[in-house]
């Protein structure tokens, strides 16, 4: 078999919770992604025992990736989108290339068929869990026209990841770039546009694309009151960076009961969306410093996430949560190398991806571009930091609600509760 120095490029387009709806547009109609349409809302994500283990492995991968990427600044990634893209790629890989990817994801060797079934289950069920939450998970492949995907590979990604394949000549880079960016824009309602500013026209073979579009309001309080009333928002208040340095942010405020756990060096609160199936976990170090949040990030992959979330108890509290918006773009190549995925970026074996005597030589880059917003209505991925204090209420009752004040760097996670699947994770450092 002949091999060429060709590049496989994976472009990931995770997006936080959108304040606008994600709508399909008609541009590049031949490149539509036909996703499953839930016939009814389900009350929980149903997974078998093996797949529940995959969730825990995926969450371990999520925290390990977060640690590899965190450099002290605010950060947002969608680990679920990374997992889907790498899982699609495994269908075209063999040998060490496939083993390194599946091992890094925590699935073990030779698990491709099981990974596909698990991914399809998430694609089918996660968007149907809550009728008030809009979650769109979309995948696609843009193939350089001199090449053809292997039939088995194309069937695997189409049937399990709902990923269509569009053949576009990279020798016409403007056409290819327009097709790629139009798909990204269409599947994120214009929030990610453009995704890329150039195409690898000389040596590129394919782009594997993944998009996450998630819209969810905060859960209403009793009496249909909003969780965060804009009248209670405090503007231009201090966010403590440590060492006497401060930034200025606006804080949303509320008082109600939230699931909460107090650990040795941090505390965690769960803030629900809509009907309560999705939530944002806020993990607040007890020290007000960048070093404390760095230490927390480095230790999360060694903690039992499932046990930690299961141990949370409802506590009456005053909650202060920053409002913010962030846009970011990352190349995940080096962080994934740090997790043990090396062959895929070198002399890789993706020999079952293409038909004929051509084969990709390796992944050139993995790009993830994000945009997030947090407002009184809802959030687009969330960043929250909290400090704990006790203060008496003025309602005449003999109890002391906890004060959870997100006023210094913290970690946040957005997840579906019945499955524990992490969709977004990040750090808010005040900028």
Q: How far apart are CA 30 and CA 18, in angstroms?
A: 25
Lowest mean pLDDT among 32-36, 99-103, 166-170, 175-179: 32-36
Within 10 Å of residue 392's Cβ, how many Cβ atoms? 10
Cβ partners under 8 Å of residue 26, min gap 6: none
Q: For residue 31, what pLDDT is reported?
A: 63
pLDDT at 260 exceeding the cut of 90: yes
Q: How far apart are CA 184 and CA 194, in angstroms?
A: 8
Which domains does the chain possess?
7-216+326-373 (3.30.497.10), 222-323+376-428 (2.30.39.10)
Lowest mean pLDDT among 3-12, 96-105, 172-181, 269-278: 3-12
For the chain, the first-to-last Cα distance in angstroms comes to: 51
Lowest mean pLDDT among 70-74, 110-114, 183-187, 200-204: 200-204
Chain segment 242-258, per-residue pLDDT in tens: 888 999 999 999 999 99
pLDDT at 386 exceeding the cut of 60: no
Whether omega for the bond prior to residue 292 falls within 30 degrees of 0, making it cis, is: no
Q: For residue 13, what pLDDT is reported?
A: 46
SS (H, E, C) 156-216: HHHHHHCCCEEEECCCCHHHHHHHHHHHHHHCCCCCCCCCCCCCCCCCEEEEEEEEEEEEC
What is the average pLDDT across 163-174? 86
pLDDT at 220 exceeding the cut of 80: yes
pLDDT at 411 exceeding the cut of 90: yes
Question: How far from 207 is each of 181, 186, 404, CA to CA, in Å?
Answer: 11, 16, 43
What is the average pLDDT across 163-172? 86
3-state percent helix, strand, coil for the chain, nearest multiple of 5:
30, 35, 40
Q: For residue 198, what pLDDT is reported?
A: 83
Q: For residue 102, what pLDDT is reported?
A: 94
Chain segment 183-218, per-residue pLDDT in tens: 888 887 777 788 888 887 677 788 888 888 888 899
What is the average pLDDT across 47-67? 96
- The pair phi, psi for residue 420, each rounded to 5°, is 70, 10
In terms of Cα–Cα distance, which of 423, 360, 102, 62 is closest to 207? 360
Q: Which two tokens stand for residue 204?
A: 């590129």
Q: For residue 27, what pLDDT is reported?
A: 36
Q: Which two tokens stand for residue 236?
A: 């231009």
- The pair phi, psi for residue 88, each rounded to 5°, is -60, -45
Q: For residue 365, what pLDDT is reported?
A: 79
Chain segment 5-46, per-residue pLDDT in tens: 344 444 444 444 433 334 333 333 346 677 777 777 788 999
């Amino acid at each position: 078999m002949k091999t060429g120095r060709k590049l496989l490029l994976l472009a990931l387009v995770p997006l936080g919770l959108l304040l606008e709806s994600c709508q399909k547009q008609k541009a590049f109609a031949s490149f539509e992604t036909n996703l499953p349409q839930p016939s009814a809302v389900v009350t929980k994500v149903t997974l078998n025992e093996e797949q529940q283990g995959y969730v825990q492995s995926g969450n371990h991968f999520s925290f390990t990736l977060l640690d590899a990427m965190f450099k002290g600044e605010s950060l947002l990634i969608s680990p679920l989108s990374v997992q889907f893209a790498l899982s699609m790629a495994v269908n075209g890989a063999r040998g060490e290339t496939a083993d390194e990817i599946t091992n890094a994801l925590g699935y073990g060797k030779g698990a491709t068929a099981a990974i596909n079934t698990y991914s399809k289950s998430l694609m089918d069920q996660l968007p149907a869990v809550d009728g008030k939450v809009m979650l769109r998970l979309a995948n696609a492949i843009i193939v350089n026209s001199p090449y053809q995907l292997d039939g088995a590979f194309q069937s695997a990604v189409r049937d399990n990841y709902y990923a269509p394949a569009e053949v576009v000549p990279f020798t016409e880079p403007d056409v290819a770039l327009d097709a790629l960016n139009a798909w990204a824009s269409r599947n994120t309602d214009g929030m990610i546009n453009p995704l890329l500013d150039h195409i690898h026209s000389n040596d590129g073979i394919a782009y594997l694309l993944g998009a996450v579009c998630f819209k969810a309001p905060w859960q209403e309080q009793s009496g249909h009151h909003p969780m965060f009333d804009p009248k209670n928002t405090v503007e231009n208040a201090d966010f403590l960076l440590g060492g006497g340095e401060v930034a200025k942010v606006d804080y949303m405020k509320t008082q109600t009961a939230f699931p909460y756990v107090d650990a040795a060096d941090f505390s965690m609160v769960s803030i629900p969306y809509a009907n309560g199936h999705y939530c944002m976990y806020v993990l607040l170090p007890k020290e007000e410093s960048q070093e404390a949040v760095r230490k927390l990030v480095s230790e999360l992959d060694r903690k039992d996430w499932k046990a930690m979330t299961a141990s949370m108890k409802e506590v009456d509290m005053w909650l202060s949560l920053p409002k913010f918006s962030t846009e970011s773009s990352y190349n995940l190549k080096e962080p994934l190398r740090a997790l043990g995925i090396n062959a895929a970026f070198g002399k890789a074996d993706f020999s079952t991806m293409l038909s004929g005597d051509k084969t990709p030589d390796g992944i050139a880059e993995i790009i993830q571009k994000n945009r997030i917003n947090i407002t009184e209505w809802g959030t687009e991925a969330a960043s929250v930091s909290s400090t704990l204090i006790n203060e008496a209420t003025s309602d005449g009752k003999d109890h002391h609600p906890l004060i959870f004040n997100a006023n210094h760097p913290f970690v946040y996670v957005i997840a579906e509760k019945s499955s524990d699947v992490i969709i977004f994770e990040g750090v808010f450092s005040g900028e």
